[in-house]
Structures are given as structure tokens and as C-alpha cells.
Amino acid sequence: MRPNGKNKKRWGLLWQFFTCNERRGVVLLGIGVILLYAAIQAVMLRHDRTAPDGENQPEQQTAEGQHSFADSLNGRQGQPDEAYPPSSDEGRQAPVRLTPVAFDPNTADSLTLRRLGLPQWMVSNVLRYRSKGGRFRRAEDFRKIYGLTQQQFDTLRPYIVIAPADSDGSASVPPVHSPSATQQTSSLLLARQHTDSLPARPQVQKYAPGTTVDLNRADTTELKKIPGIGSGIARLISNYRRQLGGFYRVEQLGEIGLDHHQLAAWFRIDTTALQRLDVNRTGIEQLRRHPYLNFYQAKAIVEYRRKHGPLKSLKPLALYEEFTPDDLERLSHYLSFD
């Protein structure tokens, strides 16, 4: 309905009752409402133009990244490897530098995986996959971890040791034999089968029961004379000994998949042969290469030296969350404070 002349006259009379300031306020208020409405419409129009279907792509990529690891291995063990590109945030991160040591991806704990140099989110994917009943049946299956590059996999591939599975899916462990048993020459010393453990080569003269060798001084030739140890296992022990700086107990052989219970009868250990790192002069890169130190622990040591001066013992490191009591106990055999 159009306002008639009487209504116009009534509004005109009412307008005359407003003071000059009140009229100016009403006009400004009206202009403000119009500008606010126009601004809202402009923002909504711009949002519609610049937010196509790909607006939620980062969130979708994140969700896909969280599920791609389990999906990549679940039911596709025999298919070729698939490449999963990292998300945009991951692509901006610095490349992961790996510090490889022998490990079984089906049994390695989070600390072992972190010491390899894998980021925490990748370690979580591995543990989550295993908690749901997943299993790595071949070394190539480890390549399917979301975010692991081909170059990183090639670095880790020689160190992946996967235990054989029984019919129920559990890892098979060879029976324990007494060192005095005559059948010991045919028993396996590995709790996890190594692909190069017992190659078909000319028979090596083995030591008689009761013989012991120094674990820190024996070369590969001497190690192969122990019943059940072939060239592959001998190299595995020698390489890990070099990375550690020596062994301080036989149980450390379990860290590379060997059955230390059977090996204990054949080895003695001279701890004076241990090679120690000078904790007050060694840089981050050399510290992190030790199997018992990761990047964050090495960084904590260097930061403490910078702020408080040289370390005189490992006690100050107990205040850092990066170090557990077990970590400090193991490191005490390999660090010096000269």
C-alpha cells in the first residue's frame, strides 16, 4: 500500500519535532545500516567465488593421511608399492635424516622407531596399524608407510629384519639348546630370521662347546666359528658393535634380533675395549649417530653445555624429559666427561 497524503503529513510533523543533532544521528544510523548490509553481502559473494569444492582440501588431505597407512597395507600385501605424497604442511618440513640400525617393524617399540629418525606421526601410524592386527610380512611392506620416501626406504631396507610367522601369525622362535648339545651346530641363534644368516657356503670349522671369545674384539672370521653364526650374522654383530662403540653385556645382542640366551655361553666381554664419546666436545650430528641417542637428546646435551658449561656427570640430564632412567643407564657406558 502506498502511503497516502495524510500519513506523509504525519511523518513530516514528527520529523519537525527532532532537533538538528537528532536528525543528523538518524541519517548517520541509516547510512551505517546500509553500509553494514552491503559489506556483509560483499563478503558472502567473495566467499562463494573463492571457496569452490577444494576449500576443505587441507582437512581432507589430513584425514586421508591419517587413514592411508592402514589402508595401504590392509588386504594389499601382494600388490606393488604405492606412493603417498605428503600433505602441504608436511611438504614444508625439513627432510627426515635417518639413523638406521637393525629392527623388526612388527616388534620395534616407539623408542626404537624414533631412534631410526622417523617422525612421531609416522611412528604413531606404525603402532596404530599393529594394534589393529596388522603385520609387515615383507620388508617391502614398510615402504607403504604414508610419507616415507623411496630414498628413506632404500636407506632402511638393509636393516629391516622380519621374523617368520607361524600359522597362527605369531613370530616363530627357535628352540633353546644347551651349549654342550651335539646338535647345536644346526640350531638357529636368531629369534628373527635373517635373510643372509646361513648361506650355502663351504663348511667352516666350528668351536667346540666350552669355547668363549671376546665379543668386543672378535672379528667376523672368529664369530663365524661359533655354531649357528654365519656370514650375515657375523657382519650384523660387527656393524652394530662399531655403531655402539662396543658391548658392555651380551643382552645387547637382542637389540639386533639375536637370541642372547643361546649366545651368552660363547661370549665374554672386556669392557675396557669400549669406545666412549666425549660428551663435552662432540657435536649434535656425531651424538645422534649413536644408537642410544636421538636428535632431541643430542640437542638437549648441547643446549645444556651452552647454558651451564661442561657436563661432569649424567645427573643433570635426568631433569630433561627426553631422557629416561634406562636411557641414562645405557649411556653411562658410552659417554666420558674429560
DSSP sequence for 208-236: PTT--EETTT--HHHHTTSTT--HHHHHH
CA nearest neighbour of 84 among 33, 147, 131, 22: 147
Q: What is the pLDDT of residue 70?
A: 45
Which residues pair with residue 66 across a beta bridge? none
Structural contact between residues 223 and 216, judged by C-beta atoms closer than 8 angstroms: no
How far is the CA of 205 from the CAs of 185, 202, 221, 265, 337, in angstroms?
A: 10, 10, 11, 18, 44
Q: Three-state SS for 119?
A: coil
Q: What is the pLDDT of residue 50?
A: 55
Q: What is the pLDDT of residue 178?
A: 40
315, three cell numbers: 645427573
Which pTM was predicted?
0.43
Rounded (10°) CA dihedral 78, 79, 83, 89: -60
Q: What is the pLDDT of residue 285?
A: 93
Structural contact between residues 276 and 335, judged by C-beta atoms closer than 8 angstroms: yes
Residues of the chain with pLDDT under 50: 1, 51-63, 65-93, 166-198
Q: Three-state SS for 294?
A: coil
Q: What is the pLDDT of residue 108?
A: 86
Q: What is the pLDDT of residue 186?
A: 40
CA nearest neighbour of 241 among 205, 217, 265: 217
CA nearest neighbour of 126 among 103, 150, 110: 110
Please give the DSSP secondary-structure letter assigned to residue 55. Answer: G
